[in-house]
Amino acid sequence: MQLVRQVYGVSDQLPDKERFGLQAQLRRAAVSVPSNIAEGSARGSAREFVRFLQIARGSLMETDTQLWLCHELGYFHYQDELKEHLGRLFAKLNALIRSKSDKAGEP
């Protein structure tokens, strides 16, 4: 949820011409992370939860890529604090995926 707040804040800096392009895509990717975690946790099986955690991880990497694109296009500086936050979330998701995969009997 904190990631979503941060992404909404930095994406406000994008020019109006990106409102329906990069800004919308960046926000959707960020919102997808906690949304998929929540949906997966309600599925009732470890295997389904792992699948949704993997989707959330993909959305997290999509968010990271789009933030780098914004940086490369000169829209804003991809702040170290935000990069570190994404890195911590990625590590936590990987650990949770490993833990739940073990319980689901997956490699």
Which residues form the domain of 89? 2-104
Quote the CA–CA distance of 17 and 1 in Å, as a whole number: 26
Q: Give burial (CB, 10 Å; 0-12/13-18/19+) of 49.
A: buried
For 82, the token pair is 């935000």
The pLDDT, as a whole number, for residue 26 is: 97
44 backbone φψ class: left, alpha, beta (φ>0; ψ -120 to 50) = left
How many domains does the chain divide into? 1
CATH code, domain carrying 7: 1.20.1440.60
CA–CA gap between residue 19 and residue 17 (Å, rounded):
6
Residue 106's pLDDT band (cuts 50, 70, 90)? low
DSSP state at residue 18: G
d(CA 54, CA 70): 24
Three-class secondary structure of residue 62 per DSSP = helix
Its pTM stands at 0.91
Q: What is the mean pLDDT of residues 81-106?
A: 90
